[in-house]
Amino acid sequence: MSGKYWAKGEALMAAVPRPKKRLFLALIMVSLLVAGLSCYGIWMVSFQGLANISVHLPFLLGSILVIALVAIAIGFFGVITAILGFPASPVFLGVAWSAINILFPLAIRIGKVFDIEKERVERSFIEVSNHLVRQKRIKVKPGKLLVLTPHCIQHESCPHKITRDTANCKMCGKCPVGDLLRLAQLYGINIAVVTGGTLARKVVKTLRPEAVLAIACERDLTSGIQDIFPLPAVGILNQRPEGPCCNTTVDVAQVEKAIKDFLL
Ligand code: SF4
């Protein structure tokens, strides 16, 4: 397929530098180090108090902290090996994902210390997450794939209630919704235009997809992907030529490619 929003989306995408996975991985590594030092600090500070209660307590706390850190480190190692292209078991990838989720808020804070903007870290996270999902080579039937797109992609002047029912769209060409609906019809997949995370979660709960293709900004994609885990979700960043939350657009060719990658 081709159309207005293929060319427009591709041009906008070309202007955005491809996010680097190594930024997120470096921040996660520093976070792991900070978490390790913090655990050691907690253990040292509480040592005497715990020892006064029982001589076994410092050992018990130390063991719990070491086990937690080793599990997170194994998860981080899992992410690195998966990114390098080594086959990883779903259990290993599950641990890797949990490690990412635990360390993510710390990685954002450490990024701030180094004056790295939050959106850059989030873009890098989405790149890592997409890579891990693609690594699994998940294939689903069309009826089990759901495309979720935010309400801000609808043209602000459009009076049609497409969040209630996408069939209300007249496919007039003023915004990319019509092209996305054509894709959904062509491949027989599900599509929903949502007003926020609550509605997105409701749609996922109702349709019970086996894979999700989410279009959104950095912040919503990051929280959405983490929210619906372990459901595999590939995130596609929207473009905001008129600023956030207004007449956003997307590279429809990129969406079509991601759909094809997921289908049997
Ligand atoms: S394509 Fe659909 S949603 Fe977009 S402006 Fe036209 S009718 Fe409205």
Tens of pLDDT, residues 44-66: 998 888 888 888 999 999 999 99
pLDDT at 6: 61
**Residue whose structure tokens are 């991985």:** 25
171 lines ligand 1 (CB under 6 A): yes
Highest-confidence segment of 79-93, 103-117, 176-190: 176-190
Question: Whose Cα sits closest to atom 4 in ligand 1?
Answer: 175
Phi, psi values for residue 5, rounded to 5°: -85, -5
The helix/strand/coil state of 214 is: strand
Q: Are 180 and 147 in contact (CB under 8 A)?
A: yes
Mean pLDDT of all residues in the chain?
A: 88
Does residue 22 surpass a pLDDT of 80? yes
The average pLDDT across 187-211 equals 94
Report domain extents, the chain. Answer: 21-135, 139-262
pLDDT band at 71 (very low <50, low <70, confident <90, very high): confident
Counting residues of the chain whose pLDDT is more than 70, the rounded percentage is 91
Q: Pick the range with the lowest mean pLDDT from 88-92, 146-150, 234-238.
A: 88-92
Q: Is the CB of 155 under 6 A from ligand 1?
A: yes
Cα–Cα distance between 222 and 227 in angstroms, integer? 9
Identify which has the larger pLDDT, 12 or 188: 188
Q: In what order do the strands lie in the sheet with 211-216?
A: 190-194, 145-150, 211-216, 233-237
Q: Which residues neighbour 50 within 8 Å (Cβ) at sequence distance 6 or greater? A: 57, 58, 61
pLDDT at 2: 59
Indicate if the pLDDT at residue 9 is higher than 60. Answer: no
pLDDT at 18 (0 to 100): 66
109 vs 89: which has the higher pLDDT = 109
159 Cα nearest atom in ligand 1: 8
The Cα 150–Cα 220 span in angstroms is: 9
pLDDT-wise least confident of 125-129, 184-188, 210-214:
125-129
Across the range 111-140, mean pLDDT stands at: 90
The secondary structure element, H or E, covering residue 148 is strand 145-150
**Per-residue pLDDT at 238 exceeds 90:** yes
pLDDT at 5: 66
Inform me whether the pLDDT recorded for 4 exceeds 70.
no
Hey, which CATH number is domain 139-262, 3.40.50, 3.30.2000, 3.40.1000, 3.90.1720? 3.40.50
- Cis peptide bond N-terminal to 230, omega within 30: yes
Of the candidate ranges 9-13, 40-44, 50-54, 125-129, the one whose mean pLDDT is the lowest: 9-13
Per the CB < 8 A criterion, the answer to whether 83 and 23 are in contact is: no
pLDDT at residue number 3: 64
Lowest-confidence pick of 75-79, 106-110, 251-255: 75-79
159 C-alpha to center of ligand 1: Å? 8
Closest residue to atom 6 of ligand 1, CA basis: 172
Residue 15 has pLDDT above 60, yes or no: no
Coil, helix or strand for 184? helix
pLDDT at 17: 60
Cβ of 172 less than 6 Å from ligand 1: yes
What distance in angstroms lies between residue 7's CA and the mean position of ligand 1's atoms? Answer: 18
